[in-house]
Amino acid sequence: MRNICFNLYISNHHLPLPYLHCYNFHQFSFFDPKIVQIKGFGRTEVIDNTRNPDFVRKFVLDFFFEEKQNLRFDVYNVDSRSCNISKHDFLGQTFCTLGEIIGSTGGRLERTLSGIPGKKCGVIILTAEELSNCRDIATMQLCANKLDKKDFFGKSDPFLVFYRSNEDGTTVKVDVYDWDRDGRHDFIGEFTTSYRELSRGQNQFNVYEVSCCTVTLLSFKQKYDCASFCWSLIFLCVFQGNPSQPTSLHYMSPYQMNAYAMALKAVGEIIQDYDSDKLFPAYGFGAKLPPDGKISHAFPLNGDGDHPNCVGIEGVLEAYFQSLRTVQLYGPTNFAPVINKVANCAAEITDGSQYFVLLMITDGVISDMVQTKEAVVNAAALPLSIIIVGVGPAEFDAMEELDGDEVRVSSRGRLAERDIVQFVPFRDYVDRSGNQVLSMARLAKDVLAEIPDQLLSFMKSRGIEPRPALSSSPLPELHRHI
């Protein structure tokens, strides 16, 4: 969980005195009918007589990477002092997820307001940042010089007490005491500083006068978490199976999505929020390709080897369904080739600017387990995580072994540097008929819960610290690796 703060700005409004009402809502069912719980979490101040209000009031929400946190923003024109929303004129609304705001370039999301037929309602701009005073953990080392002696027969036994001296925590008050065995510690002096100042480390400004002595900061080390990093999420999905029979897990029913599509949608709708351009390379493996029937373990689902990117998860789903009509899916289930090729791409970008997530959806056992273990061990040293969703009734013991939660994956006497594989059996999340997901939210949460820690473990092992946000762009030349 992380605390996220965001601001709001609205442009091109046609009425004065707008203010914003914000909602957080949760869907309890994936299929119609839906039960939606809506909870208001705040209102902005009222801005007088402007079409382009820049609101000052900030909103703080708890952010969970693995959950889809839906938000709704309603804009009203204030006609009276009434707190009843129905008493004011509705100007427009927009919907998004908290992940979309955080995952947008620079943490800035622009959305068109709608809700009034035939009328342009304007644009809302949302910006988000993580609250550092809720996230940061720091280790400091300080020294003091010429402290006042408070004991008759020896030197002082000093210790420091840190306080937040104002509500927002921007200023830190530090008291210096001489420790006494009886608990009546002697006050030596005090000084004030700030987290921002301390985070600059040892310098001339981190020397503080305390009575007739000085306290100096020697070192400052900050502990980061996943949300501290600017990371670009590259999303790959791979498929294997046989769609020729109505009982197939790939069967395209006019009435419902198949297991592959349901798994892709559940996980993809969460994960796509953290890629600002929403362009995802999507591949299948284990198929005979037209026109000559060549077997491929890495073919673009959209059929375009030069431009394999799909726009959003809906684009990936469309390409998947199209591929089922044009290729002949064919075993065996070889994991190593596609893992190695994605790893080759990840090996070119190890500076922390990109982190890869490979989503593999499969209904078969692993045919090349020895080679796959070797591929996972090698990939564990790269900015890469692997999610495997197993669909169908097959036994997935080998995939459980790759998961590495209990025993770290090894190959030829080498242990994987870190755990990078998360496996979930799709059948644990569907009803007995296999046609309806009991909880899409629980599936996505279980699949994605380990990604932040996996990303952070790589960054820590390489000593990579956060950097300023940069514009995201599609990964260049990815198709040449795949």
SS3 content of the chain, % helix, strand, coil (to 5): 25, 35, 40
State how far Cα 464 lies from the chain centre: 18
Question: Between vectors from CA 28 to CA 23 and to CA 30, what angle results, nearest 5°?
Answer: 110
CB atoms within 10 A of CB 4: 23
Any residues with CB less than 8 A from the CB of 27 and at least 6 apart, and which?
34, 35, 36, 70, 441
Instruction: Give the C-alpha separation, 180 to 199, whole Å.
Output: 31
Instruction: Give the C-alpha separation, 112 to 42, whole Å.
Output: 20
End-to-end distance of the chain based on CA atoms, in angstroms? 35
Domain 2-133, architecture per CATH: Sandwich (2.60)
Residue type, 200: R
Instruction: Give the C-alpha separation, 433 to 430, whole Å.
Output: 8
pTM, 2 dp: 0.65
Class of domain 227-481: alpha beta
Residuewise pLDDT in 10s, the chain (482 residues): 555 454 555 554 333 344 455 655 544 333 333 344 566 777 888 888 788 888 878 888 888 777 778 888 888 888 777 777 778 888 888 998 888 887 777 778 889 989 899 888 888 888 887 665 555 567 778 888 877 776 666 677 888 888 865 545 568 888 888 888 888 888 888 888 887 777 777 787 788 887 767 777 766 666 555 555 545 445 455 555 567 677 778 888 888 888 888 888 877 877 777 776 788 888 888 788 888 888 887 788 888 888 888 998 899 999 999 988 888 877 777 889 889 988 998 999 888 878 888 888 888 678 899 999 999 999 999 999 999 988 888 888 888 899 988 788 999 999 999 999 999 998 888 777 666 667 767 877 888 888 888 988 898 888 887 665 444 444 444 444 44
Minimal CA–CA distance to 440: which of 22, 14, 27, 61?
A: 27
Domains of the chain, by residue range, sit at 2-133, 137-223, 227-481
